[in-house]
Structure 1
């Protein structure tokens, strides 16, 4: 094996729809694998929120665009021996192809490690790839590539409508679509050719099953399949938009092995070294199949497959790229097997995407061949019903499971619309339809979803319908409901009770979940893994409780607009800091894309819901030293009050003080007490009082519901009509909390005070300023550090106000305070007693990890010293990447 001294790894750049945190996971694993081999690592990635751009991984990090110009500059300076292209998604792959084609890599004698560039180019060029598959007798849909609109229209007529259009060299199905008419084809192709060099026009396979295989091959031609996955949705909906089940549930043994053999044949023919994703279309009524796509790189499906099986795909792919064989690499998850051991599952996983389409007014909500989802979750269970309902709750969109609230659809006509048209609401339309007596066969005809899945959802509904307020819930009944993944809260709704009463009954009856391992071995052999999930379909625990020094860290759940990889950074950084105090870190999270759900980050990983019920179950089992809720974004913060009431010891700021900051009305009263200026405000229960206030302070006014993330349901209203309309919507969002309305200042500046405190005393802080005027959410604003236009006196005043608020709320841990500056006057508009999305930014700019200070503030035996954060000798800008800016 040739010795590699230094390797350049290309990251994925800014997160975007279709390319999210999964590439932070894959790149981080790759860097760890290289470090183990003593290889120097150089990373190019401008994303400041990622784990991989932290000090603990790469030897050298360049916050530069992943483009040939900048990459060549880094190559000239660093002179690496090799480059890895497969760990940064489509961005890295496209850049790598350009580096090769422009002769940059040859000019600087840089080898492409892993899969040959010829195979990468072949899989990205849809026409050449189809021709290659035909040469090895692997079928593809009838297709032809086109580089002009005229060619594409001619092909559409020749193949016959409807046709599938796929853009070459594109990410997340961008530019793809199903054209039923010549006009639709013209529209899709014009869009695709605006950014892609070619399109593939192919035969559309209506309601075919979509099946995926994750395959690994080494340079010695050893080849295994890691995981096969079945899309619950039929072909025509991008796999990133689909509900995905692993392992497949509706394939016969013959079909499973037929597709497995074909995927291995394809990967071998391409000479892949590392990991590869193969996607098939399978006729539901025969064994006829077609290959629809191959990704010769780590993908979102790869991250999912890795978390599904416990097989560290990116880690092993990195070792293979260095020249190792599968028989030489240990599987660090199991601790007892080699990488050539094909995973075996004794459980079932359901992945469901998370969409935030409602954030964009007027956007088409139909889902299809192009990705719109912004994140995903993964539910683990021993039955489909259990895993499916877990995943629906993990989305954190106020669903208790498969069955929607009674008023979810306004009419049967609306329900039938969402049943016929694929949107994020379709799963609930299916459940509603089954409730109303529509048969699984009829729904299958409309949706193409296999009757097996529909019958499982029907099973949930039938058992729910048997629960009424008059029902006597005995041990057998409660066991059955819990085995179907029905939550305590949902049982309470059906029974006319409350969640805590059902929890108490369940515990009294001895109906408790079991803690089981994901070990890749189907529980056939001993394993050292601490990768865990809870189930009611077992009667034993695979592990004992953690030692007495365990600390639970709550993760952020699915990525969504407003909560993304930055909270994975804060979670992982906190876990790293806990090691200094000898604490056993126990992470709870539901997101397969994250580094925090990687096998070696924490001492124990619970891939579970971030609901009160499930967190309390884990806390009761583990009996930890305490729990940290302030590093996972808004979701853990929202659980603080209920968890504290349950008896959980929260490490850091007390739940009652979190509530004082989160409740807009209480916090505003606190500012009044402290003599801190704020925009004039009040809370209202009637529209007439609200309107009178708005008239008195003069429009515009700002509506602020309590306990929300990323400005959800906040609105600037300029007229009485707008105020009336929007207040009704905002009040409906959070009926248990008052609606606060405040005067909105136009053309004001916005500033931020980020700090870590210990027992009400600020220990480190940073002041930053927004480029845009107030009114642009801090997550959407461009932020500059150090501040460029603030006088020393003004910064002193911000610091003094920040210290006053921190002391009043007795903060121990992270805090973010947002200020307005208008006509030389400072006003406080918001305080978050948790890490904010600016924490990775300020930590990487200043070189001081604020999460380290937080953990010191909790566990130090004495008062920690205040730290003077140095002002950087450069100007740093944090700019968001969002669909609205594209």
Structure 2
């Protein structure tokens, strides 16, 4: 086991990792920009190192500063959390060259799954069902029209190096396709430095279902069930739950074992998430995230398994501490992402928190690094916390969530808490009758 881990992140995820390290008896090193000098993870870490000015490019994304922080403090490993450098294969390579462990999969697996075209080809080879589409990148508009005619409209143009909904455009007719191609390529080039795109069949009313996996790189891999992340705005998840209201036990077990078997064949190491669209009883692979997910707590709540503990253990060379038979699912869990945003316009709302009170009680977890008097800087993601609740079933979980949202107090800034108070009372949410387009339609009707 490592004796000291550097946490290459900020906010709630940095605090989440810090807590796991402390429980394992590992010393922690926090890194921070000048804007985060008063952050909670900096206050609680055993050591801290300032790595640059507020801009993420000059601090949290500045690899030389992070390597230097490791060397200065003697950190043996780096946990990247999510976002920033968590899926940067070059960063993992550089750490490896300096004798520092990367708490995550191998650079090769990061590269493989970071290229959406190669990821899809790999999924096919591993027996994972995929969305019908092009075999690889689309080089010409003529090729795009040919593929679209074969799979049928509407189609989705996607950036090969994409993520977070950027470089994704829908074309419902041949006339729209050329416009979608041009826009997707331009957006992909701007966001990722790579204009490559490919085509997939656009599914009309799918759910977004993802499977959490753990592997140790030694041929052992398990799944921890699914999460339903269908409530999204602009392809960004807003509300996640486990288990999905749309799946039964047979479907859950079948797709889980398919994915786990694929990870064993890959000899995958660490935590990962395989994301699917699910429509009419069929799963369609869309991508794999080779990192910890924002929504991992709902899986922890229904399994009792600490995913970050397992990440750290595996990165230190240990095998998984549990088998598939050890994984048991208990009840239901829902997570709401609390953002510092206007609940109607979703404009960021940085500023100082004047009052802060989190809900509590049985089955309640709040992952947040803010506190009363904390100044939310304008430079980073607007996520300020996650409210996670657990119940014996989905009905109890929704009742508990409603009570917790009424207790949650964040004054001085705007947050998305009022939106969740509306959602928890909506009949479609109570019934579990929603797909990935539901939230945007609801928001459009509400304005």
Matched, 1:121 2:137: no
For structure 2, the residue ranges without an aligned partner over 5 or more in a row are 53-58, 348-380, 406-415, 427-434
Deviations 1:726-764 (A, max 9, x none): xxxxxxxxxxxxxxxxxxxxxxxxxxxxxxxxxxxxxxx
Matched, 1:344 2:329: yes
The structure-2 alpha-carbon separation of the partners of 1:33 and 1:162, relative to structure 1 and needing over 3 Å to count, comes to: farther
Match of 1:267 among 263, 267, 270: 263
Matched, 1:195 2:180: no
Report if aligned partners of 1:144, 1:155 keep a CA contact under 8 Å in 2: no
Match of 1:44 among 16, 23, 31: 31
> Once superposed, what is the RMSD of the aligned Cα atoms?
4.0
Name the SS of the counterpart of 2:222 in structure 1. strand
The structure-2 alpha-carbon separation of the partners of 1:327 and 1:310, relative to structure 1 and needing over 3 Å to count, comes to: closer
Equivalence for 2:154: 162
The structure-2 alpha-carbon separation of the partners of 1:422 and 1:29, relative to structure 1 and needing over 3 Å to count, comes to: same
| Structure 1: distance between partners of 2:418 and 2:69 | 43
Match of 2:121 among 128, 131, 134: 131
Matched, 1:387 2:387: no
Deviations 1:108-165 (A, max 9, x none): 3334344211111111111221222222222322345988xx8374554233243334
Name the SS of the counterpart of 1:311 in structure 2. coil
For structure 1, the residue ranges without an aligned partner over 5 or more in a row are 16-20, 329-337, 362-370, 405-418, 431-886
| Structure 1: distance between partners of 2:111 and 2:436 | 38
- Of 394-403 and 57-66, more deviation after overlay is shown by 394-403
Equivalence for 2:429: none
Trace 1:55-134 onto structure 2 (pairs within 5 A). Answer: 56-64=44-52, 65-66=59-60, 67-78=62-73, 80-85=75-80, 87=81, 89-94=82-87, 96-100=88-92, 104-105=94-95, 107-134=97-124
Name the SS of the counterpart of 1:226 in structure 2. strand
Report if aligned partners of 1:144, 1:200 keep a CA contact under 8 Å in 2: yes
The structure-2 alpha-carbon separation of the partners of 1:297 and 1:110, relative to structure 1 and needing over 3 Å to count, comes to: same
Report if aligned partners of 2:231, 2:237 keep a CA contact under 8 Å in 1: no
Residue 91 of structure 1, CA deviation: 0.7
The structure-2 alpha-carbon separation of the partners of 1:178 and 1:304, relative to structure 1 and needing over 3 Å to count, comes to: farther
Q: Which has the larger radius of gyration?
A: 1
Report if aligned partners of 1:281, 1:291 keep a CA contact under 8 Å in 2: yes
The structure-2 alpha-carbon separation of the partners of 1:42 and 1:342, relative to structure 1 and needing over 3 Å to count, comes to: same
| Structure 2: distance between partners of 1:179 and 1:390 | 41
TM-score, L = length of structure 2 = 0.69
| Structure 2: distance between partners of 1:253 and 1:423 | 26
| Structure 2: distance between partners of 1:271 and 1:118 | 11
The structure-2 alpha-carbon separation of the partners of 1:386 and 1:122, relative to structure 1 and needing over 3 Å to count, comes to: same
Bigger strand share? 2
Match of 1:218 among 216, 219, 235: 216
Report if aligned partners of 1:216, 1:273 keep a CA contact under 8 Å in 2: yes
| Structure 2: distance between partners of 1:190 and 1:145 | 21
Name which structure has the greater RCO, CA cutoff 8 Å, separation 6+. Answer: 2
Residue 300 of structure 1, CA deviation: 1.0
Match of 2:442 among 420, 426, 439: 426
Residue 206 of structure 1, CA deviation: 2.4
Equivalence for 1:151: 139
| Structure 2: distance between partners of 1:97 and 1:28 | 23
Report if aligned partners of 1:231, 1:239 keep a CA contact under 8 Å in 2: no
Equivalence for 1:526: none
Tell me how many residue pairs correspond in the alignment: 374
| Structure 1: distance between partners of 2:4 and 2:63 | 19
| Structure 2: distance between partners of 1:390 and 1:308 | 15
| Structure 2: distance between partners of 1:326 and 1:129 | 25
| Structure 1: distance between partners of 2:436 and 2:247 | 25
The structure-2 alpha-carbon separation of the partners of 1:141 and 1:375, relative to structure 1 and needing over 3 Å to count, comes to: farther
Residue 278 of structure 1, CA deviation: 1.5
Trace 1:274-313 onto structure 2 (pairs within 5 A). Answer: 274-284=270-280, 286=281, 288-313=282-307
The structure-2 alpha-carbon separation of the partners of 1:107 and 1:282, relative to structure 1 and needing over 3 Å to count, comes to: closer
Report if aligned partners of 1:227, 1:305 keep a CA contact under 8 Å in 2: yes
Match of 2:237 among 234, 237, 240: 240
Residue 297 of structure 1, CA deviation: 0.7
Deviations 1:522-552 (A, max 9, x none): xxxxxxxxxxxxxxxxxxxxxxxxxxxxxxx
TM-score, L = length of structure 1 = 0.37
Report if aligned partners of 2:155, 2:201 keep a CA contact under 8 Å in 1: yes
| Structure 2: distance between partners of 1:425 and 1:206 | 13
| Structure 2: distance between partners of 1:375 and 1:7 | 23
Equivalence for 1:833: none
| Structure 2: distance between partners of 1:185 and 1:392 | 43
| Structure 2: distance between partners of 1:207 and 1:276 | 25
